[in-house]
A and B are shown apart, each in its own frame.
Chain A
Amino acid sequence: DTEVTQTPKHLVMGMTNKKSLKCEQHMGHRAMYWYKQKAKKPPELMFVYSYEKLSINESVPSRFSPECPNSSLLNLHLHALQPEDSALYLCASSHTLTGTNTEAFFGQGTRLTVV
């Protein structure tokens, strides 16, 4: 089973709203990722968590706030977003970050529209 579950699948939010994206995996993976993907572009890395600690922040604006409450869950808290933040937000997980067990599996994504 290589399932990563993201909720919600679609989200429309106003620029003054606060919302959260959720990601869950039960594969025992210890690395989890947030990516952002705009239309016809490759995924862009936002954050990496390893063993529930933030490992990488790719200079993401503070209106995006990640959280890893436990090894199975990853959240992305959204506040005061801009219309240009509209994109497909992808969560992924892998067993580890280094070595030969680093295959990353993606969830179905959350299609976010900021109005």
Chain B
Amino acid sequence: QKEVEQNSGPLSVPEGAIASLNCTYSDRGSQSFFWYRQYSGKSPELIMFIYSNGDKEDGRFTAQLNKASQYVSLLIRDSQPSDSATYLCAVKQGGSEKLVFGKGTKLTVNP
């Protein structure tokens, strides 16, 4: 079973801090990587996607991909209480049509 692993947390940061969320994956052929935010009782919301090694920035969010280390991360700068949610890492496995999710990291941003 090809896996996607995340720190289960919970992760707690003060308002204004940088939150760092990490994800590793086992399928070396994986090509596409996604971060979803899910509020309690709601559906997952796509917040970042990355296909190439390096960093990708969108507003307060930065996704980082290192295919050699099979590692993808999400940085949230200037964290706000509204960022408190579960963050799901998802990986589209190489040669497959399957999008596999990690178990998620629950983030709490304290005012």
* Chain A interfacial positions (CB closer than 8 Å to B): 2, 31, 33, 41-43, 45, 48, 50, 55-56, 88, 90, 97-98, 100, 102-109
* 9-residue interface stretch from B13-21, B55-63, B74-82, B93-101: B93-101
Interface members, chain B 58-110 (any A CB < 8 Å): 88, 90, 92, 97-104
C-alpha spacing A71/B81, complex, angstroms: 39
Closest 7 CB pairs of A and B: A42-B101, A97-B97, A109-B43, A106-B43, A103-B49, A100-B51, A106-B44
* A102 close to B101 (CB less than 8 A): no
Q: How far is the CB of A108 from chain B (nearest CB, A)?
A: 5
Q: Given the interface contacts A42-B103, A43-B101, A50-B97, does A104 sit within 8 Å of B43 by beta carbon? A: no
Residue of B nearest to A41 (CB): B103
- Report Cα–Cα, A37/B49, bound state, in Å: 21
Task: Enumerate 11 A-B pairs (CB-CB under 8 Å) in ascending A order.
Answer: A42-B101, A43-B101, A45-B100, A48-B98, A55-B97, A100-B31, A103-B46, A104-B90, A106-B44, A106-B45, A108-B43
A-B contact count (CB 8 A): 50
**Binary A-proximity of B32-45 (CB < 8 A = 1, otherwise 0):** 10101000001111
Q: What's the minimum C-beta distance from A35 to chain B, rounded to whole angstroms?
A: 9
CB-based contact A42/B98 at 8 Å: no
Is B97 a contact partner of A48 (Cβ separation < 8 A)? yes
Interface centre among B42, B101, B104 (most CB of A within 10 A): B101
Contacts of A106 in B (CB 8 A): 36, 43-46
Task: Report chain B residues within 8 Å CB of A43.
Answer: 44, 88, 101
* CB closest chain-B residue, reference A90: B43
> Of residues B34, B36, B43, B90, which shows the largest number of chain A Cβ atoms within 10 Å of its Cβ?
B43
